[in-house]
Structure 1
């Protein structure tokens, strides 16, 4: 691009007898006088990330002897891991619900989608978790196929493999949404490629009848791996120091309780924000493959390098605090589930629950009704964290469909498409339902 002279530059005599104006006419010297958007983006990128680039290369050579980031062994481990989870998800129908009282598994229905469809899911996450960990312990104590520290020993190469899978599945979901969506009525296009890639185009991408991208990647392979990663960290601590600290035991126990709770209530998960509202893009695809297993397990990784043996009283205090947090979490979810299952005809804290009632029309023209709970633990926590009870998290976590929480006039809901409208009213007990626009 031809350079332009600066209009404000003074014309002074130079050493060769030419004025600045004449020199500018012949072409500017030195750095650019004008910056396009690409150059600006490059400058910002270097300012923000250049130190991290240096850190990466130095640490790669210092900690990993300048070895390739993705090793053949790590690729084989990760491919075997994902393949195992796909097989457990697709080929082994759930049998746990046949002998575990209170557990709901097998084929279950999800929420009504914006297009008016009701998808079916094979709920077998608890079974997959149990079988995976049974194989893990059988190997550790009997078979000795691989070291229990295998995850820790290949931690960084596995991170690269997880990133590759995260971007691959996100890209595939993007292409699928444009070219061969499962249900074109539930695709959303913003006109911005990067936003579409991050937040997703397709609402419920599937391959065949049963392989649902959202349910698989949300529950497997990341959450099943969570507890295995912690066990590998504990095994590494045993290998390095000859014992496992009580702080590492606490991390394993408390986080295992949360993971088991997730799989025990996997059917309930079908009515939460991830399944009912989020489209499948990089946010879920990469997040479930990388963010979840690598950041949620940082406590255990820290304890491998910095073992902490807590005094018994401190350890008991941490355990009780963790169990109290889990109790609040579980009771909150139970209140929401009870409210949903009984259509609000229940008691919460000994009283009829307050609710926001909404009605809306899905893309197929059918009218639906929904209620949002505003009693119990959930709104109390929302107020304490600065969230209004009508916030997106509250609405999505209880309602099987996109709704509005405006109480004065109907509005178009932007979560799932332009064809969904809702109207709502706040009431106590089971008051009448209002029709939408």
Structure 2
């Protein structure tokens, strides 16, 4: 091997080690205290990050939340309730696309019904004075402490389970070592009591919990001030519409990157059980004690823009869902669907087929749904105004996350489909934002 090739190979190995070991380890160490710091800034420093960062470290540290029995009890009750509802509430069964090893996990589609039951119980409990919304608001820091602590322990248990007690053949170690396997996971579709842990954690705990949290924060503002501000109403309404859309489209989520590609390790488990509750709810959490009133026209404009973004997001998802269900025998925007028919071989040696949609919104860019996701998040953050950075942390994070996810998805698709994906990229040249990226 010539020196130039050796140098290139060494550079590639160094880059791979950095991405699969150094970065995951750093994120597993830094991320849990970072999300708790965000809560400290929002709760104790009224969203003023500069004030918190210039304060004495000992003062900031003294405000960090600690675990509490109340916080742990709230979490256990909610998880148990969601597990029971997932098992008991009827719904059609959805069979996902084949995994790399040829397995096809199944999911119960009862998300909308579970959403209705969950929120009906929440509102009834408040009406009967069995529960105050402010309890969740003031216990939120302690809940984050419990979630962060338990996530680290459960991640290790998931690592061991995937190696020695896997649900199916999509499991085991990778070639990248212990750190990566802890971060990325050792099992693609783990189950507990016949329930998919991804559906329980990602959909029922994270997404349902997000909705319960922002409704509670809205109620807390009413308890505190005697009214709900226009900014809170717009932001909460847009988030609720987005979350309901998620459960209506839940079958589509089971064909997303989170489910079909990412294993159930720290990245997904901690991300959904601790990061999502802390960051995704941040705009509403900030607005709870910082109500901002807008006039009728600005309020209507923000609400209409946000609803349009959600509608476009749903429209794009719906186009792809209909396309897959009809196996390409459909029209998109009044024309016969344009597509690439790709074939690939799974880990069980079988040749399979995938159809890549290149019409409608999916002809505008290969990840147009990510653009709409970012637009929606911006729309429910804008009502908070420009008084603090905290309400915009989520949309900033989402922009970075989805840009990176689009890149990773491109790499996987190129490796999976080969020349077929090259043809697809020729038909749809833009990755996310037309004429830009």
The counterpart of 1:125, out of the listed 99, 111, 129, is: 111
What is the aligned partner in structure 2 of residue 433 from structure 1?
none
Change (3 A) 1:186 1:354: farther
Does the 8 Å contact 1:115/1:186 carry over to 2? no
Change (3 A) 1:340 1:392: farther
Higher relative contact order (CA 8 A, sep 6+): 2
Distance 1:352 1:170, change over 3 A: same
CA shift, 1:374, in A, is 2.1
Which secondary structure state, in structure 1, belongs to the residue aligned with residue 255 of structure 2?
Answer: coil
CA contact (8 A) 1:355 1:371 kept: yes
Correspondence for 1:170: 155
Do the aligned partners of residues 189 and 395 (structure 1) sit closer, same or farther apart at CA in structure 2, a change above 3 Å counting? closer
Does residue 113 of structure 1 match 2:86? no
Residue 338 (structure 2) pairs with residue 326 (structure 1)? no
**Which residue matches 2:259?**
275
Change (3 A) 1:55 1:379: farther
Whether the aligned pair in 2 keeps the contact of 1:357 and 1:424 (CA below 8 Å) is no
Judge conservation of contact 1:355–1:428 (CA < 8 Å) in 2: no
Q: 1:245 aligns with which of 192, 217, 229?
A: 229
Cα deviation digits, residues 247-271 of structure 1 (max 9, x gap): 1011111111111111112122222
Match of 1:158 in 2: 143
Query: Matches of residues 401-420 of structure 1 in structure 2 within 5 Å?
Result: 404-407=416-419
Where does residue 377 of structure 2 map in the other structure?
A: none
Unaligned runs of 5+ in 2: 1-21, 38-51, 372-401, 428-437
Report the counterpart of residue 75 of structure 1 in structure 2: 72
Residue 243 of structure 1, CA deviation: 0.9
Partner residue of 1:28?
none
Contact 2:67 2:145 in 1 (8 A): yes
- Deviation at residue 311 of structure 1 after TM alignment: 0.8
Conservation of the 8 A alpha-carbon contact between 1:93 and 1:106:
no
Q: How many residues align?
A: 350
Aligned to 1:32: none
Once residues 279 and 228 of structure 1 are traced to their aligned partners in structure 2, the CA distance between those partners, rounded to angstroms, is: 27
- Name whichever of 229-238 and 285-294 sits farther off: 229-238
* Aligned pair partner of 1:231 in 215, 220, 228: 215
Q: Which residue of 1 aligns with 2:59?
A: 58
**Normalising by the residue count of structure 1, what TM-score does the alignment of the two structures yield?**
0.72
Shift in alpha-carbon separation, 1:359–1:285, aligned structure 2, 3 A: same
Output aligned runs, 1:222-371, within 5 Å: 222-371=206-355
Q: Is the 8 A contact 1:74 1:154 kept in 2?
A: yes
Check the 8 A contact 1:354/1:426 in 2, yes or no.
Answer: no
Query: More helix per residue: 1 or 2?
Result: 2
Paired residues of 2:93 and 2:109 also in contact (CA < 8 A):
yes
Shift of 1:383: 7.8
Contact 2:182–2:266 at 8 Å: present in 1 too?
yes
Distance in 1 (alpha carbons) for counterparts of 2:367 and 2:224? 46
Deviations 1:137-177 (A, max 9, x none): 10111x21121211101010011112123223322211111
Residue 84 in structure 1 maps to residue 70 in structure 2: no
Pick which of 184-193 and 108-117 moved more. 184-193
> Does the CA contact (< 8 Å) of 1:74 and 1:158 recur in 2?
yes
Q: 1:372 aligns with which of 356, 363, 366?
A: 356
Contact map agreement 2:162 2:171 (CA 8 A) in 1: no
Q: Which has the larger radius of gyration?
A: 1
Q: Deviations over 1:295-339 (max 9, x none)?
A: 111111111232100111000010011011011101100111111
Specify whether residues 311 and 207 from structure 1 end up closer, same or farther in structure 2 by C-alpha distance, changes over 3 A only.
Answer: same
Counterpart CA distance in 2 for 1:244 and 1:129 is 23
The equivalent residue for 1:181 is 166
1:59 CA displacement = 3.5
1:224-256 residue CA offsets vs partner (Å, 9 max, x unmatched): 111111112112211222211011011111111
Q: Which runs of 5+ in 1 are unaligned?
A: 1-36, 95-104, 409-422, 430-437
When normalised by structure 2's length, the TM-score is 0.72
Which position in structure 1 is the counterpart of 2:44? none
Q: SS of the counterpart of 2:419? A: coil
**2:416 is paired with a residue of what secondary structure?**
coil
CA distance in 2, matches of 1:387, 1:150: 36
Contact (CA 8 Å) 1:358, 1:424: kept in 2 or not? no
Partner of 2:398 in structure 1?
A: none
8 Å contact kept, 1:358–1:405: yes
**Superimposed CA distance per residue, residues 261-293 of structure 1 (whole angstroms, 9 cap, x where no aligned partner):** 111121222222221111111111000011111
Q: How many angstroms does 1:52 deviate by?
A: 7.3
In structure 1, how many angstroms separate the alpha carbons of the residues matched to 2:170 and 2:213?
39
1:205-216 superposed matches below 5 A: 205-208=190-193, 210-216=194-200
